[in-house]
Amino acid sequence: MSVTVIESRTFNLAVDNIDTDQIIPARFLTTTERAGLGQACFYAWRFNEDGSEKPANPLRDHRVADQAVLVTGENFGCGSSREHAPWALLDYGFRAVVSSRFADIFRNNALKNGLLPVLVEPAVADYLLAHPDLPVRIDIEARSLTIEGYGAVGFPLDAFSAYCLTRGIDPLDFILQGAADIDRYEQQHGK
């Protein structure tokens, strides 16, 4: 799957330190598949234990069809390394997450699945969180996030991730192209 530009609107969850147990609780991790996890996304925020919707569900007004950019507080995706977190967010309908800090493993996992982590300055995140439902345009090649009424800001994305995302290149293919290097390393180091 290749991604170059995401044009959508923002949806805000103005909470810091959203951990991957919130994104998808552990009891949904017994699956051996990766599809269909959207139902479990933010489960405890959306549903009571009997499956009824919580009155205070913060995603109640989320429009899946045109709000594909999630904006959150800082340190998004901390905690468990479960890749089910980006799988759940993607299956739910998000394509990018904007935050002023991402946890390392989440960021890695997201990039490997085509969910774009957009790291911005705290002031930019604060602006977005103060102005819900804004039209935004994310250009991966240009590494720019254009926010209606605010302007364009840059975001960091390593060259390799951008290359993989925009061309749909798989990182494993890249590693395996260097199989001769791996053979040589194993011989030289007695592994």
83 contacts another protein (rule: CB under 8 A): yes
Shortest reach from residue 93's CB to another protein, in Å? 20
By beta-carbon proximity to another protein, the closer residue of 29 and 152 is 29
Binding-site size, another protein (CB under 8 A): 51
75 contacts another protein (rule: CB under 8 A): yes
57 contacts another protein (rule: CB under 8 A): no
x/- track of binding to another protein for residues 118-157 (CB under 8 A) = ----------------------------------------
Span from 16-24, 59-67, 122-130, 136-144 in contact with another protein (CB under 8 A):
16-24
6 contacts another protein (rule: CB under 8 A): no
Full DSSP string of the chain: ----EEEEEEEEE--SS-BHHHHS-GGGTT-S-SSSGGGGTTHHHHB-TTSPBPTT-TTTT--TTT--EEEE-SSBTBS---THHHHHHHHHT--EEEES-B-HHHHHHHHHTTPEEEE--HHHHHHHHHS-S-EEEEETTTTEEEETTTEEEE----HHHHHHHHHT--HHHHHHHTHHHHHHHHHHTT-
